[in-house]
Chains A and B, each alone.
Chain A
Amino acid sequence: MQTSSLNKFFKLYSKEMRELRPEILVVLIATLVLDLFFYFKARQFPAMIIGPSMMILGLAAFLPFISSFKLLGREWNSNTIYLLLSLPAKGGSILGSKLLALLTQYFIGTVVVTAGGIILAFLLFPEPGLAETLNQARALGIDTRLQTIVSSGSLFYLMSVVGMAYVIAISFFSQLLGKLVRRFSGPVTAIVFIATFWLMNKLMTPLWQQLWNYNQLHMNQYNFSVAALNQLVGMNTLIVLAGTVIVFIAAVLVYNHKIEL
């Protein structure tokens, strides 16, 4: 029976998700323990939750980057690369499924930590506190409508997802180039990672500069506009996405044409 490419991709993705299960559980358990601790044991100091929550959010956001090295490197360390390379699947599917799994890990981690923080804030902070903060923001001319908060928040979040995809793509590319040498694979990976990051930033800087200049015309400290801010974030996301696509394609080409056992 012929299996569709989508089924094959989903099978690879499921395998990667299984590999990432311990890291995802660590973030979920840490969030649960922290939120329960603050809810039951530290109700009198609700503001204290911000620090530890930010730390766990940082962990949830940073772990997928660390996992990207584990996910690809382990294929060589445990010899499963023999299985992977013998499959009738191209680098796009293999690396794509890994990238999607890491972004899922990022999504689960950050959403759970953020949602936990928001719920806890509503439960712990006294009602006038939040309302007052919103009133103060309104007085400064900031649009505090739920629709605006959600749309701007979503755009910022999307930018962070694309940023994560960008560093993961560089991680894949540098690891694969590192695997091309028999000795000093680790140092080569590190050097390629830094060099690719530097080179891509050089390539993207003129675009960022243009974007910044354009944005300055529409928004400055005296004229804050949510629409202009959203536009800035959206355009920046597109620039980083283009960089991600370039590096990812380079990684796929290396996987398809250069990787050997």
Chain B
Amino acid sequence: MIEFKNVSKSFGSTVALNDVSLVFPRGKIIGLFGPNGAGKSTSIKLIMGLNRPDRGEVRVDGENPQNKKQDMAYLPEIDHLYPWMNIAQAADFTRTFYADWDEGKYRELIKFLNLQEDMKISKISKGQRAKTKLLLTVSRRAPYLLMDEPLSGIDILTREEIINTLIRDFREGEQTIIISTHEIAEVESLVDEVIFLDRGKVKISGNAEDLRVERNMSLVELMKEAFRNAD
């Protein structure tokens, strides 16, 4: 379980998170939604230990995120792989650091995603790079999978492949997936729990199905309404 206790984080004069208290339940797919600048990426980075809260605390299974990095698979929005590596070298590099690397899954996924091991990171398309990042993240049997805007700037066919990969490999009850995105329509069918963030505050949170039934609208409509009425 991941817990935020009164977490605040600012970058200079920009407030990214403002006294946020949250619980990300274990074994679910959680959508972290909100417009640009809502605090989604900062939340993911805080969980990953890439940022530290100014106030409050973040706990992953009761521990400091810095000590839980081996349990977390992280897919950032930006291209973070060494450009001179090919896919095989990037996989070899990743596999060295994680005991939960699943070689069989990696072999299976590389075919499923239509990638080749000798493809050089700097030479492949944006969509292929997105799929490579996904391949390296999902090839691990990590308890936590943190994805920051995994669909951003990706064509519709690649998006479908990414979502299908996530559905295919999700281990319910065992694995927690947190997807931060503002493209809710694409992942609406995927998420169990949702958290809507706006300017560093939690606007709405709860079970996705309950919210849909309760408000009689889709998550996309819910977000539109919530942010249209935002002060």
Chain A interface residues (CB < 8 Å from chain B): 1-3, 7-8, 11, 15, 18-19, 78-83, 85-89, 182, 256, 260-261
Partner of A182, one of B11, B49, B66, B74: B11
**Cβ-defined contact, B99 with A3, below 8 A:** yes
User: Does B112 lie at the interface of the complex (its beta carbon under 8 Å from any beta carbon of A)?
Assistant: no
Q: B interface, how many residues as a size bin?
A: 20 to 34
Chain B interface residues (CB < 8 Å from chain A): 11-12, 45, 48-52, 66, 69-70, 72, 74, 76, 78-84, 93, 95-99, 101
A19 CB contacts on chain B under 8 angstroms? 84
Q: Measured between alpha carbons, how far is A2 from B98 in the docked complex, in Å? A: 7
**Cβ-defined contact, A89 with B80, below 8 A:** no
**Cβ-defined contact, B12 with A182, below 8 A:** yes
29 CB contacts below 8 A, A to B, read A1-B101, A2-B99, A3-B96, A3-B97, A8-B97, A11-B97, A19-B84, A78-B83, A79-B76, A79-B78, A79-B80, A80-B80, A80-B82, A82-B78, A85-B49, A86-B48, A86-B49, A86-B50, A86-B72, A86-B74, A88-B69, A88-B70, A88-B97, A88-B98, A89-B97, A182-B11, A256-B66, A260-B45, A261-B45
- Given pairs A3-B99, A11-B93, A15-B93, 14 additional interface contacts (CB within 8 A): A2-B99, A3-B97, A8-B97, A81-B80, A82-B50, A82-B74, A82-B80, A83-B81, A83-B82, A85-B50, A87-B69, A88-B69, A260-B50, A261-B45
The minimal Cβ–Cβ distance linking A99 to chain B, given in whole angstroms, is 19
Q: A4 — nearest CB in chain B belongs to which residue? A: B96
B95 CB contacts on chain A under 8 angstroms? 3
Number of A-B contacts (CB under 8 A): 61
Q: A74 — nearest CB in chain B belongs to which residue? A: B82
**Cβ-defined contact, A11 with B51, below 8 A:** no
The minimal Cβ–Cβ distance linking B44 to chain A, given in whole angstroms, is 11
Partner of A260, one of B12, B51, B76: B51
A3 CB contacts on chain B under 8 angstroms? 95-97, 99
Q: B80 — nearest CB in chain A belongs to which residue? A: A82
A1 CB contacts on chain B under 8 angstroms? 99, 101
